Amino acid sequence: MTGRLAIVGLGPGAPELVTPQAAEALAAASDLVGYAPYLARVPEHAGQQRHPSDNRQELARARHALDLAASGRNVAIVTSGDPGIFAMASATFEAVETGAPEWRRIEVTVVPGISAMLAAAARVGAPLGHDFCVLSLSDNLKPWETVLARLEAAAAADFVIVLYNAASTARPWQLGEAFRAIARHRAGATPVVFAHAVSQADERIEIAPLAEADPSHADMRTLIIVGSSATRLVSRGTDAPFVYTPRHAELVAP
């Protein structure tokens, strides 16, 4: 007997940003697998088994979910944001590829969610209004030289740059080095958005010029957006300015 596995994105936190498709997949599941704080966001349903885990061991968590599905259960892996953006979907397909052949017969679906970058961008205006790159700053699974090479390429080609996994207690210096790499190609006045816990109770948004952006203001729940050369502020008196990137772009030297 083979069950099903849905990898479900809860969005950034607020219940009104959970899609009906996600709510339905969660309500229909016999088993919920995921990082404990994400499971805590899901409404309780009678008879549903919960399998909370810590924030590491993504492959082990995916294998556990696939094992349950292979035994006939209807499993949902719960993620924050969108499952496909630096979350559990990639680890799950890696587990399928490297795991038992029968896992390939499990019906696996990905239920998209509002990713942190979309929620953060919406809060400040439209900083992702033109070409952008999205990088994880974590060097747990790739060499730091690769992170730097990608940052330099993105900055030189004048992309807006979105940084996931910008900082944690175990990775305290990477964001400062990333800002310095980008600053070799960008003016000091370039807007940088620090978006912490968007749509949650402790949401905090900060906008700073690149030259004054303080990496210590980021933690593991902070998404960073660094503007392109075209990204602009629209002042509004005492209200926070809007940040947007225009739809048109100038010539970039190849």
Site for its own copies in 3-22 (CB under 8 A): 11, 14-21
- The string of DSSP letters for 170-207 reads TB-SHHHHHHHHHHTTS-TT-EEEEEESTTSTT-EEEE
Cβ proximity of 41 and 12 under 8 Å: no
Footprint of its own copies on residues 28-67 (CB under 8 A)? 58
Q: How many chain residues bind its own copies (CB under 8 A)?
A: 83
Instruction: Please choose, out of 42-50, 65-73, 113-121, 210-218, the segment that lies near its own copies by the rule CB under 8 A.
Output: 113-121
91 touches its own copies by CB under 8 A: yes
Q: Cα 185–187–190 angle (5° rounding)?
A: 110
Q: Which distant-in-sequence residues (6+ apart) come within 8 Å of 31 by Cβ? A: 48, 49, 50, 51, 65, 68, 73, 74, 75, 76
Is 76 or 119 the residue whose CB approaches its own copies more closely? 119
Footprint of its own copies on residues 69-88 (CB under 8 A)? 82-86
Footprint of its own copies on residues 121-160 (CB under 8 A)? 121-123, 125-136, 141-143, 145-146, 148-150, 152-154, 156-159
Footprint of its own copies on residues 158-217 (CB under 8 A)? 158-159
Instruction: Please choose, out of 67-75, 186-194, 211-219, 234-242, the segment that lies near its own copies by the rule CB under 8 A.
Output: 234-242
Rounded CA gap, 168 and 73, in Å?
Answer: 35
Is 16 or 47 the residue whose CB approaches its own copies more closely? 16
Structure tokens at 249: 């772009």
Task: Supply the minimum distance, in Å, between the C-beta of residue 48 and its own copies.
Answer: 20
DSSP 3-state assignment of 181? helix
Task: Supply the minimum distance, in Å, between the C-beta of residue 182 and its own copies.
Answer: 14
Instruction: Please choose, out of 26-34, 42-50, 68-76, 112-120, the segment that lies near its own copies by the rule CB under 8 A.
Output: 112-120
Torsion angles phi and psi, residue 137, rounded to 5: -85, 0
